[in-house]
Amino acid sequence: MSERAMTSNQTKILAVLAALVAVAIVVPNTNSFLILLATRALAFSILVMSLDILLGYTGLASLGQAAYLGVGAYLTAILATKYQFGLGYDFWLVLLFGIMVGGALAAVFGLLAIRASGVYFLMITLALGQCVWGLAYRWNSLTGGDNGINLRQRPKFGAIDLSNEVAFFFLVFVIFCISLGLMYTLVRSPFGRSLAGIRERELRMKILGYNTWLHKYIAFIIAGAFGGLSGVLWAHTAGIVSPINIELTNSVDALLMAVLGGAGTLVGGVIGSFIVFGLREYLSTLVPWWQYVLGIIYVLTILFLPTGLMGIPERIRQRRARNGNAGKPKQLAPAATS
């Protein structure tokens, strides 16, 4: 059984790697519309994965995750337009600053939010997200208010101009892959496993010697830092940063993408992100009723697929196992006591 678990894990990793290679090969050879769509989905899915660390692994459903994308994006836009900073090799510094500002904001917000749980955590993260939105919306002199900030150019590294869609796609793709790798390592690490323990039974974790508050707080900061990172990429992907990026609906979108793909799987959020961006930006050009499709997909997923799309193989396997050898669990039970 342990060998099977091992190989199934390796199969999954191989499948993800294969999918990534396929994306890297196929996407640049399509048209500019699809390249931009994929770039958007990848940049946003870093935020969705960061949310999944909280939602799927720690059991904390945040309704304000867009705030971290927002601060990263506004930082990038303000530095670029007001100080001409981050448009050359100093872009890497902006990337670092984005991570730091996302993490720092989460460090402040976490102090308020982490004590709460369940519905109260939902509400407090909503309130905190709205604080950031309110500042972005109203603080005209800094944020441009309702209109937001237009970024007129993307960074250039010597001969490489990121205004070129393919070059920019690869930048986002590489940063996405690194983020995925880091977050995957995190969730498989002792710390990541401790988060799963907290999700399952926080009281037991305390009794086992874990300072569960600290673990949740650290996870919250890490999620915020990745949110900030995704914001830096988002600013240059979209070319405009405005309060819409921090609106409640954007946080809700991230949450739904994570759940649609399958919470607690990381890549599920990426799949969710691609599906939603695909529907929203591709289907919307074809038919006017695309939002019904999206709404119905959400409702059906929540009603019938609580484990998301990534949970489908597991459900099929369980169904097969139940039909195949129904007597097996009964055989196991006496073995425990003999």
Partner 1 sequence: MSMQFWVVQAFNGLSYGALLFLLGSGLSLIFGVMRIVNLSHGSYFLLGGYVALSVIWTTGSWVLAIPVAALAIAFIGLLMERIFLRPLGFDPLRQVLLTVGFAFLFQQAALDIWSGNNFDITPPAALTRSVEAGGMYFPLYRAFMIATALVIGLGLWLAMEKTRIGAAVRATVDDAQMARGVGIDTSRISMFIFALGAFLAALGGVIGGGFLGVYPGLDFEILPLAFAVVIIGGMGSLGGAAIGALMVGLADNFGKALFPEVSYFTLYAPMALILAIKPTGLFGRE
Partner 2 sequence: MATDATPNASSESALPALELKGLSKSFGGLHAVRGVTFKLMPGDRKAIIGPNGAGKTTLFNLITGIFPSSSGQVLLYGRDVTAWSSHRRTALGMARTFQVTHLFPKLTVLDNVLLAIKGLRPSKYVMWRFMSSYPDVYEKAHGLLERAQFMDRKDTEVRFLSHGEQRQLEIVLGLASDPKILLLDEPAAGLSSGESVEMSEFLQGLDPKLAILLIEHDMDVVFDVASNISVLHFGEMLESGPAEQIRQSAKVREIYLGTE
Instruction: Give exposure, 295-326, as e/b (b: 16+ Cβ within 10 Å).
Output: eebbeebeeebebbbbbeeeeeeeeeeeeeee
Does position 256 interact with partner 1 (CB under 8 A)? The reply is yes
Range list of β-strands (E), 126-195: 149-150, 156-157, 160-161
Quote the CA–CA distance of 190 and 201 in Å, as a whole number: 16
Residue 147 interacts, among partner 2, partner 1, none and using kind-specific CB cut-offs from 5 to 8 Å, with: none
Smallest separation, CB 111 to partner 1 (Å): 8
Does position 292 interact with partner 1 (CB under 8 A)? The reply is yes
Residue 298 interacts, among partner 2, partner 1, none and using kind-specific CB cut-offs from 5 to 8 Å, with: partner 1
- Which residue type occupies 126? L
Quote the CA–CA distance of 294 and 279 in Å, as a whole number: 7
Residue 248 interacts, among partner 2, partner 1, none and using kind-specific CB cut-offs from 5 to 8 Å, with: partner 1
Q: Which is nearer to partner 2, 59 or 148 (CB)?
A: 59
Q: Which stretch binds partner 2 (CB under 8 A): 27-35, 128-136, 180-188, 243-251?
A: 180-188
- Tell me the DSSP string of 280-322: IIIIHHH-TTHHHHHHHHHHHHHHH-TT-GGGHHHHHHHHHHH
Candidate list 206, 315, 317, 320; residue touching partner 2; CB under 8 A: 206
DSSP letter assigned to residue 54: I
Candidate list 135, 177, 196, 244; residue touching partner 2; CB under 8 A: 196
Residue 208 interacts, among partner 2, partner 1, none and using kind-specific CB cut-offs from 5 to 8 Å, with: partner 2
Does position 274 interact with partner 1 (CB under 8 A)? The reply is no
Residue 186 interacts, among partner 1, partner 2, none and using kind-specific CB cut-offs from 5 to 8 Å, with: partner 2
Does position 147 interact with partner 1 (CB under 8 A)? The reply is no
Beta pairing, strands 149-150 & 240-241: antiparallel
Torsion of CA 27, 96, 106, 137, to 10 degrees: -70
Quote the CA–CA distance of 304 and 239 in Å, as a whole number: 38
Does position 315 interact with partner 2 (CB under 8 A)? The reply is no
Q: Contact at 8 Å (CB) between 283 and 293? A: yes
Candidate list 1, 5, 119, 286; residue touching partner 1; CB under 8 A: 119
Candidate list 82, 115, 138, 204; residue touching partner 2; CB under 8 A: 204
Strand partners, 240: 150
List residues binding partner 2 (CB under 8 A).
1-2, 5, 185-186, 188-194, 196-197, 200-201, 203-212, 218, 222, 329, 332-333, 335-337
